[in-house]
Amino acid sequence: MSQRKASGDSGRATIRDVAQRAGVSVASVSRVLSGNYPVSDELRRRVMKVVRDLDYVTNAHARSLAGGGTPTVAILINNITGAAFTHVAKGVESAASLRGWLTLVGTTGDDPERELALVNLMRQQGVAAVILLGGAYDYDEYQLRMARFARSLDAADSHLVLVGRPPLEGEVPATTVDYDNEGGAYAMASHLLSAGHRRVLVLPGHAELTTAQGRLKGAQRAFEAYGVPLDPGMVRHGPYDYEHGYDAVEESLRQGAAFTAVLAGTDVVAAGAAQALRAAGLRVPEDVSVVGYDDIPLASQLTPQLTTVHVPYEEMGRAALRAVADRRESGRRRVGDADHLVLGTHVVVRQSVRPPSQ
Amino acid sequence: MSQRKASGDSGRATIRDVAQRAGVSVASVSRVLSGNYPVSDELRRRVMKVVRDLDYVTNAHARSLAGGGTPTVAILINNITGAAFTHVAKGVESAASLRGWLTLVGTTGDDPERELALVNLMRQQGVAAVILLGGAYDYDEYQLRMARFARSLDAADSHLVLVGRPPLEGEVPATTVDYDNEGGAYAMASHLLSAGHRRVLVLPGHAELTTAQGRLKGAQRAFEAYGVPLDPGMVRHGPYDYEHGYDAVEESLRQGAAFTAVLAGTDVVAAGAAQALRAAGLRVPEDVSVVGYDDIPLASQLTPQLTTVHVPYEEMGRAALRAVADRRESGRRRVGDADHLVLGTHVVVRQSVRPPSQ
DNA sequence: TTGAAAGCGATACCAT
DNA sequence: ATGGTATCGCTTTCAA
């Protein structure tokens, strides 16, 4: 019944099927296909004909077991739906495919268990690198956890790459591709301050998220630089989503908070904030200015177009992959050897900021 | 120098390393790890200890060569940045990970060459299925091309799944997960017509794209049903992006076209259209109504919130994976056996439609 | 319950 | 330029 290997009938054709049918050795078929070895035209013709007839493709698993194999990188995201992450992923994928590499994607849903499981799964796959995207929750064990990931991957000839979060402390075999998060926030807040705003509602994000921490710190530094006190009551933490932006503004308004501008942690939060302002009969930017962070497409599609901080997400993705590829080519480097890359950010001035009216 | 296998030092630890160090056979280690075989507690303890010490994970390539292995599905997208696709991908990924499956992602950039290369690459990987996302360009060879993909994959014990596009003609071993594209457009157009709109600017998308064709056809049917002639000059084709929406409206206005509503092919196009209307001093929806299609988050984040057609993208992704998984479990089915699934769509009424003012 | 050994499909070294 | 074959790491009979 289940006569396996009856005649290359069921399942995929193997290199042996091709060899047999072409009347040559498997070694020859392998040579023709990899193309990195001198082969007679006659042989090549014979083999390729059969390859086409059988619609043969080599078994990637066997190949990578035997030596060769397509390098693969894994990218782990919290939520594939986030526009910012999506652009990093695009950068990684495009740079990978440019080199003929494959990209695996896994989503963690902010679940440490799942993150661990995925890192191990990727290790099993023998990926060239695991790229972790997005800000991290800075809980106690975080550093240890990441250090463990890094060492595990390193021991398996793989590599850990952190994108969009601060580098790890100590001598850990990991690469970080980050952006000037705090600097961007500093510039954005300064933009608001120099326009004359003094009372601004700040929505940095979750207090434990590294990106939110950086953005808040940048804003605080700007306020200090301008000698303007930043009322702690004007800082509201919450998730990076539309609802949070909306709710935070609505609530502040209800509590009678007086502010002439909103400094949001992301463009999506800014969108929610703007909507809440409008719902309260306030005009943006005539009555209240609103700024975001990230510069995702949404920012320029809103009305008014959002003034925000541009983060080179796609470029970060490309940089991450380049770092991995370089490291492969030039043999592994020593720990701590230029493992940290920081890309610049800058304010994109659009239409959502005006000097305070009164 | 390059003494390989000196002592399981360099590279990943193998099952042999574990066996040796635990003083048992590789077979036993394999049994302990796969857990699908009776094993003494003592043995298990010994093996697991070493596994932890060595931080060992099995080599997925070797495993899948030998028989077992993690099922993997590939999802091929034109542009990973599109919000709609992203949600399908999320559905696929979540359903996959629920079963312990892996997800590979590749982007084609609308390039047939690359699409072919990717399908073959995925075939090499021995994926359980290749999921093609998004509308297709209905050029001549399309059907033949897809049929070839389908047969190739089928012959390799894999499977082709088409998501968001019409099913293939004839007896082709492929599964289609689609949504009622035309029906949604019909309902959306009817909504506009029943509100009293008679002159509406239609921006269905690229004329060759199957989704655009369906959306246009649905709209046309609605106009017919209402006995309202749809001026061909009021239909403008173009890409599914913000710029197209903006430009199309701007140009129509410049040419003096008179319309009281815009029926856009996607939410993003609608966003562009709305922006252009505002730029021209027209209010939405007081002066001109605007509707979209897809119901991506953007739709409810715009001002005014967009009335649009909801498409269950994430659910489609889940359905696609379920179809593949079912097919695996229950052995392959015969060609043409309930290979076509169509999910419903419906209008989501929000704030961007008003009866025409005059 | 445990071990030995035969593949799985491809690569690359060693002969010819 | 070609062919034979050991090998990659693991799973799975087949014996013990």
Total tally of structural domains belonging to chain B: 3
In a domain, A134, yes or no: yes
In a domain, B235, yes or no: yes
Residue A333 pLDDT more than 70?
A: no
Residue B334 pLDDT more than 60?
A: no
> Are B301 and A271 a contacting pair, CB within 8 Å?
yes
Helices of type H across chain A: 15-22, 26-34, 41-54, 60-66, 83-98, 112-124, 142-155, 181-194, 210-225, 242-254, 267-279, 297-301, 313-329
A15 touches strand C (CB under 7 A): yes
Q: Residue B47 sits in a domain of what CATH number? A: 1.10.260.40
In a domain, B85, yes or no: yes
The answer to whether A106 contacts B97, with C-beta atoms less than 8 Å apart, is yes
In a domain, A352, yes or no: no
Q: Are A172 and A320 part of one and the same domain?
A: yes
Residue A5 pLDDT more than 80?
A: no
The protein footprint on chain D, as nucleotides within 7 A of a CB, is 1-5, 7-13
Shortest Cα distance from B225 to chain A (angstroms)?
A: 34
Q: Residue B175 sits in a domain of what CATH number? A: 3.40.50.2300
Q: Are B329 and B269 part of one and the same domain?
A: no
In a domain, A332, yes or no: yes
Within its chain, how far is the Cα of A9 from the centroid? 43
Strand C-proximal residues of A, range 298-337, CB below 7 A, are none
Residue B309 pLDDT more than 80?
A: yes
DSSP-derived letter for residue A39 is -
Average pLDDT for B56-76 = 92
Q: Are A164 and A207 part of one and the same domain?
A: no
Domain that holds residue B266: 181-311
The answer to whether B275 contacts A79, with C-beta atoms less than 8 Å apart, is no
Q: Assign 3-state DSSP to chain B and report helix, strand, coil percentages, each to 5.
A: 45, 15, 40
Q: Are A263 and A193 part of one and the same domain?
A: yes
CA pair distance B314, B291, nearest whole angstrom: 22
Distance A20 CA to D4 C1' (A): 15
In a domain, A67, yes or no: no
Q: Are B226 and B322 part of one and the same domain?
A: no
Q: Are B257 and B196 part of one and the same domain?
A: yes
Q: Are B116 and B175 part of one and the same domain?
A: yes
B-chain CB neighbours of A57 within 8 Å are: 120, 123-124, 156
A-chain CB neighbours of B106 within 8 Å are: 93, 97, 102-103
The answer to whether A70 contacts B124, with C-beta atoms less than 8 Å apart, is yes
In a domain, B133, yes or no: yes
B-chain CB neighbours of A125 within 8 Å are: 60-61, 102
Q: Are A332 and A240 part of one and the same domain?
A: no
Residue A332 has a CB neighbour count (10 Å cut-off) of 12
Shortest Cα distance from A215 to chain B (angstroms)?
A: 23
In a domain, A196, yes or no: yes
Note the pLDDT tens digit of each residue in A270-279.
Answer: 999 999 999 9
Q: Are A193 and A289 part of one and the same domain?
A: yes
- What lies within 8 Å, CB to CB, of A43 at 6+ separation is A24, A28, A32
Nearest to B337 by CA among B323, B321, B322: B323
DSSP-derived letter for residue A100 is T
> Are B208 and B137 a contacting pair, CB within 8 Å?
yes
CA pair distance A108, B277, nearest whole angstrom: 41
In angstroms, the Cα distances linking A44 to A27, A261, B212, B333 are 12, 70, 45, 38
Q: Range with the lowest mean pLDDT among A326-340, B181-195, B314-328?
A: A326-340
- Residue B357's pLDDT band (cuts 50, 70, 90): confident
Note the pLDDT tens digit of each residue in B250-300.
Answer: 999 999 999 999 999 999 999 999 999 999 999 999 999 999 999 999 999
A27 touches strand C (CB under 7 A): yes
How would you class B139 by CB atoms within 10 Å of its CB: exposed for 0-12, middle for 13-18, buried for 19 or more?
exposed
Q: Are B47 and B130 part of one and the same domain?
A: no
Residue B55 pLDDT more than 80?
A: yes
Mean pLDDT of all residues belonging to chain B:
92
Q: Which nucleotide is nearest to B27 (CA to C1')?
A: C3
> Are B245 and B269 a contacting pair, CB within 8 Å?
yes
> Are A292 and A264 a contacting pair, CB within 8 Å?
yes
Match 């259209």 to its residue by tokens. B273
Residue B7 pLDDT more than 50?
A: no
Q: Name the residues contacting strand D (CB < 7 Å).
A: A 23-28, 31, 37-40, 42-43, 62, 65-66; B 4-5, 11-12, 14-16, 26-27, 30-31, 33-34, 36, 58-59, 62-63, 65-68
Q: Are A263 and A305 part of one and the same domain?
A: yes
Residue A198: per-residue pLDDT: 97
In terms of CA atoms, which chain A residue is nearest residue B67? A61
Q: Are A120 and A269 part of one and the same domain?
A: no
Nearest to B106 by CA among B91, B87, B85: B85
Q: Which nucleotide is nearest to B28 (CA to C1')?
A: C2
* Token pair listed for A135: 């800000």
